[in-house]
Chain A
């Protein structure tokens, strides 16, 4: 039974990986692409790792998988935030149809 739950978690993770990479291709802007592709991390790869935990149980590799998922959940938003801030400082323009830019307003 726990194997079936693990397979379902892995399938959800694969679907989110595929949709995130499609967003990386289709969206028009660095910031939009960043917003789409961070879903790859928190729901995609963490889903695969939790599915692995359900399949192998609380063995050595299962606990390593949950440690890896916790580390990803802690670090990848920090990396995405630093990257968007760096892109804004280095002068990448927003897409023409973007509505608001709060970071630019606060800088002035």
Chain B
């Protein structure tokens, strides 16, 4: 019974994803603007994911929960930058992604060290 519930949930999630991705396109696709139409749907899914992360940041019972959610939020922003760089054909969006990856890694390590109860110069 429990396995059946899991299978139904997985199938419905995949259906939601496919409905978002394969919804009948706007007229802009026929004008050759397929990147714009695709990146709109990709950004919609990424915004959904970041709303879930924000829920965990607000509700998380302990501090490590919030730090995990903030880390994943930064990772999603790198995906944002990649999709925007594809759709607008501008190079410098991916530079923002690289800088955000560096900053997210260092801030996660610093917060982990703070949670262990050590100083930053040990």
Q: Residues of A with Cβ closer than 8 Å to B?
A: 7, 10-11, 13-15, 17-22, 24-25, 30, 33-34, 37, 40-41, 44-45, 48-49, 52, 55-56, 60-61, 64-65, 67-68, 71-72, 75-76, 78-80, 82-83, 85-87, 89-90, 92
- From 24 to 75 in chain B, residues with beta carbon under 8 angstroms from any chain A beta carbon are 38, 42, 45-46, 48-50, 52-53, 55-56, 62-65, 67-69, 71-72, 75
- Is chain B's interface secondary structure helix, strand, loop, or mixed overall? helix
B17 at the interface (CB under 8 A from A): yes
Q: In the complex, what distance in Å separates the CA atom of A10 from the CA atom of B50?
A: 17
Q: Contacts A17-B46, A44-B75 given; indicate if A52 touches B86 (C-beta within 8 A).
A: yes
Name B104's closest neighbour in chain A (CB-CB).
A79
Q: Contacts A52-B85, A67-B98, A90-B115 given; indicate if A7 touches B75 (C-beta within 8 A).
A: no
Q: Contacts A17-B46, A33-B68, A87-B64 given; indicate if A45 touches B115 (C-beta within 8 A).
A: no
In the A-B complex, the 8 residue pairs with the closest CB atoms: A87-B64, A86-B115, A86-B112, A21-B52, A82-B112, A21-B49, A79-B108, A75-B105
Q: Contacts A17-B76, A82-B108 given; indicate if A64 touches B98 (C-beta within 8 A).
A: yes
**B14, B62, B105, B112: residue with the most chain A Cβ atoms closer than 10 Å:** B112
Q: List 15 A-B contacts (CB under 8 A).
A: A11-B21, A17-B79, A18-B45, A19-B13, A21-B50, A24-B56, A25-B56, A40-B75, A78-B109, A83-B68, A83-B108, A83-B112, A86-B112, A89-B117, A90-B64
Q: In the complex, what distance in Å separates the CA atom of A22 from the CA atom of B75?
A: 15
For B62, the chain A residues whose CB sits under 8 A away are: 30, 87, 92
CB distance from A26 to the nearest CB of B (A): 10
Q: Residues of B with Cβ closer than 8 Å to A?
A: 13-14, 17, 21, 38, 42, 45-46, 48-50, 52-53, 55-56, 62-65, 67-69, 71-72, 75-76, 78-79, 82-83, 85-86, 91, 94-95, 97-98, 101-102, 105, 108-109, 111-113, 115-117
